[in-house]
Chain A
């Protein structure tokens, strides 16, 4: 290791340069002819306002996004940008710590190290141990006393701890040459921030280069060698850190120096309310909650209120809190008037893609009326037409689909939606994102007109210069309004300046270690185990024969098919899917065992392999055709059922001797117990294998794994294949135990497997499942049927009880989750 370091240290000069990089998204230019370079062992800061192009630039350097034009030279070699991707970048030693975490929260800390750095563990049979060691060492090296247990599942850690893991993981790569950190300290406490800064400095001395993106100017002054300032996709200043200081950076970032160059963007509008409309208002009375703290203000109709601050400091929470109080009254928020919300995220929360302009425009107006109101289309059409003409929306007519319009025109439709509705309070959430200057001006004019008509306009923008339009601006930091700017104070520079205020408000992270109970009670399998034992005890109380070895064997042989089939379902649920056909799949295996396998073994095995392949291919169909797993498997369930009935019309048949022989073996330990333990152990081993760990990760954060270089279709195929093989084993078992087949009876297993996995601590989303838990869950469900029998409850109720238990468990979880949030 020391040797490797010294070779890196020998290198001097330029590590990476990116020249004349241009990237356009539609009509917006994300980066416009930007050139940057970084030397070996240098720390470069990239600063600038929101949407300056920093993130886009780093995504291009790390191979995630392709630039439209420009060149990237790494270690003197020009990269072929057509083939350059994130996997190659990683191999060359370029890594990124993203702002949004790219960890799998259902995996343990050290497992996350493995799935990202898998190439370092090739052929390593002790990979778990080594990954643990690696994770522990690097985390302790960077963040001593972080309190992170590398054996803990990631979702047991605090957000700050998760971020420390993500940062440490990048440093664990021995080939690392360039590390890009995008707001790495956004959730770290001061102590850890300092630890990170010290560590970066140390590593830079060893020759590793860093690009550091942060809004925290103090950190930048303390850490970096050089600064590049970006604004609106251009680099507007570069220089050594000695040439500047915190105040100077703020001045430079607000763009005063270069204002002459971007007069186009300058707001020519300034609004002053003539008369306030007392009938429309929003009063925030020291409001705390939903990400906000002590927000206190009163705003009235006739005002245009700006909401500003660095991205993610509570601006959107404020808009949402006001909007949501319309449906659910919140203590501390009082308002009068109807509310409409105009989003700038057209794709995610604005457009109705199947609809034309007219329908998109009138929907908010409709929602102000009664739910079953019969609407007058002609009148709505005329209303919409008025705004359509006024806004000069460029299209072939109001019956054109909204998705066929340009971004700016889509935005006009969304603004018109609020205007058609004639809402008293208009909330605008970054409405000019990616919109051209002409449209922007139209929107400004419209807002002024609305305010003049007594409406209250609440305007959030990620571009501070736009907010010069407002008569008041609230600048937010850490969920609190840190500064209110009025009238003449409302200028972009003061907004930027105020955005950096309130550093002392940074919430204190309580990184207290969670109190650790007994380790065994923390296990996923603990609760299902207790549930099983309780029901077993009640059974024993009712009928003591279940305690005898023979009784146990009988119970086990009844439960074994369900246990194994639940393990199959567990792999599917671990992926975030559900198999609604697994019962009938086991049924068809059962039928083939009892028919062809007896009469013609070659045909029987051939058929089994074929259906197994088809089962595995469902994973591929689901991936490539993007259809819901439930529908695919529901359709397949009819195919399995039909096949079963076709091969064998009525229950019966004959299972080959060798299968039955397994279950009649004379041994001191019940054979079913041995089988149950062996199959469970195999499933456990499988999930603990290298690829099993990756498969588990795919149920949680497929994007992160794809970025690490894993193939999603391959993973889907493997998981479905695994589940198919296990379901097939279940089919063999039920054949061996019953000696015959019954397709229809196997259908009822489907719901029971889902129940077992859920009772066993599994979640339908997020890849959280437990092998042992599922086994106990399955035994619990079997015992419930037995118990209902002992209690002389008709078998009619068994399905109802099982369905009800499933709903109750999911209900309790939803309730608990709601309490947590």
Chain B
């Protein structure tokens, strides 16, 4: 029996993040080969770029895990809006940081609540609901944009220290992502919420029959997704030094790719936070590689699109198999 246990430890489903990690390293080596120089700096640059993506992707992962093909398409709008709120509310003023952050986080939470009202209350398919919400959010961002002058270029020192600074030679963002990942892993593995979320994603009817509070679980999940999106938007704007329209748009596909690559099931019921983080790193390195190879931005879109479809096709059992189950 013990032997069996040991074998299980290394099964694909539990440790798929190991593959992504090795994949990322392989990609990094490929990148070194292409650029002709071997440098840890380039890995670090990719890691830092991946950290911002990882924060949103973890939120996306939680929403995807609720099952039935759920996805949060309101992420781009959330990021952009949070970035504008940073410029408008904080605008580099250290005295306004606390209030500003609270408002941004609450905005993220409100977006989550609104999403879950649409999905649970109005019974709109998650994809459509969050798509519509995204349009509303980007309108808000446009509103902010037209009511704003040029003051948006200043960033608060504390926030800059978090988004770009280092401690003991390691980027602070790595600590932030590590903390968020540990928190989410803890939620998923140790709490009733985590178990309920995973159960819900596998079979919502069975989860209900087993007595779980499936509505509460979903509402909290959308809130968490919104909050993580807002935090990421804040940090992204701090790092890039401002806010501009459409700044969140590129993140949407990347979150999906990162989540799927990390071993999370698109159909729900299996989440892997560590895998998501490495999945994001992988995607960032692919993008850097494409940039290094001087691919046109259009080609980059095509490759990313094909990558997504291919990953999902490989990751989904075929029709015949599912019918047998």
Beyond A351-B203, A621-B313, A800-B135, is A807–B1 a contact (Cβ under 8 Å)?
no
Chain B hits for A578, CB < 8 A: 125, 127-128
0/1 string, A782-812, CB within 8 A of B gives 1: 0000000000001011111111101100110
Q: Check if B149 is an interface residue, CB within 8 A of chain A.
A: no
Q: Check if B216 is an interface residue, CB within 8 A of chain A.
A: yes
0/1 string, B1-27, CB within 8 A of A gives 1: 100110010000100000000000000
0/1 string, A806-821, CB within 8 A of B gives 1: 1100110011010000
Beyond A624-B319, A625-B319, is A366–B195 a contact (Cβ under 8 Å)?
yes
Selected A-B contacts with CB under 8 Å, 12 pairs: A323-B209, A352-B269, A354-B270, A366-B192, A375-B191, A632-B312, A642-B298, A642-B304, A796-B145, A798-B139, A800-B139, A803-B133
A168 to B118, CA, bound (A): 42
Shortest CB-to-CB span from B137 to chain A, Å, is 8
A372 to B131, CA, bound (A): 30
Shortest CB-to-CB span from B247 to chain A, Å, is 15
Chain A hits for B266, CB < 8 A: 627-628, 631
Looking at chain A, what size class is its interface with the partner chain?
35 or more
Q: Check if B148 is an interface residue, CB within 8 A of chain A.
A: no
Asked if A814 and B319 make an inter-chain contact with CB atoms under 8 angstroms apart, the answer reads no
Q: Shortest 5 CB-CB distances between A and B: which pairs?
A: A642-B301, A800-B139, A645-B298, A646-B298, A638-B305
Asked if A751 and B131 make an inter-chain contact with CB atoms under 8 angstroms apart, the answer reads yes
Asked if B146 and A807 make an inter-chain contact with CB atoms under 8 angstroms apart, the answer reads no
CB within 8 A of B1: which of A327, A396, A799? Answer: A396
A806 to B135, CA, bound (A): 11
Residue picked from A372, A377, A417, A635, most chain B C-beta under 10 Å: A635
A797 to B140, CA, bound (A): 8
Number of interface residues of B (CB under 8 A): 77
Asked if A635 and B192 make an inter-chain contact with CB atoms under 8 angstroms apart, the answer reads no
Stretch at the interface among A279-287, A336-344, A459-467, A551-559: A336-344
0/1 string, B115-139, CB within 8 A of A gives 1: 0001001111101110111111011
Asked if A375 and B192 make an inter-chain contact with CB atoms under 8 angstroms apart, the answer reads yes
Chain B hits for A800, CB < 8 A: 135-136, 138-140
Q: Check if B296 is an interface residue, CB within 8 A of chain A.
A: yes
A580 to B142, CA, bound (A): 22
Q: Check if A630 is an interface residue, CB within 8 A of chain B.
A: yes
Beyond A372-B192, A630-B71, is A764–B128 a contact (Cβ under 8 Å)?
yes
Q: Check if A152 is an interface residue, CB within 8 A of chain B.
A: no
CB within 8 A of A628: which of B69, B203, B296? Answer: B69
Chain A hits for B253, CB < 8 A: 634-635, 638
Chain B hits for A373, CB < 8 A: 191-192
Asked if A371 and B305 make an inter-chain contact with CB atoms under 8 angstroms apart, the answer reads no
How many contacting A-B pairs (Cβ < 8 A)? 240
Within B307-322, the residues touching A (CB, 8 Å) are 308-309, 312-313, 316-319, 322
Within A299-350, the residues touching B (CB, 8 Å) are 323, 326-327, 339-341, 343, 348-350
Q: Check if B244 is an interface residue, CB within 8 A of chain A.
A: no
A632 to B1, CA, bound (A): 42
Q: Check if B293 is an interface residue, CB within 8 A of chain A.
A: no
A568 to B239, CA, bound (A): 42
Given contacts A639-B302, A645-B298, 15 further A-B contacts (CB under 8 A): A348-B205, A363-B199, A371-B213, A373-B191, A580-B127, A623-B319, A630-B69, A638-B301, A638-B305, A796-B146, A800-B138, A803-B134, A806-B132, A810-B128, A814-B123
Shortest CB-to-CB span from A398 to chain B, Å, is 10
Q: Check if A690 is an interface residue, CB within 8 A of chain B.
A: no
CB within 8 A of A635: which of B1, B190, B195, B312? Answer: B312
A359 to B13, CA, bound (A): 16
Q: Check if B153 is an interface residue, CB within 8 A of chain A.
A: no
Shortest CB-to-CB span from A426 to chain B, Å, is 12
Beyond A625-B316, A639-B305, A814-B122, is A352–B213 a contact (Cβ under 8 Å)?
no
Asked if B202 and A341 make an inter-chain contact with CB atoms under 8 angstroms apart, the answer reads no
Chain A hits for B143, CB < 8 A: 794, 796-797
Chain B hits for A631, CB < 8 A: 69, 71, 256, 266, 308-309, 312
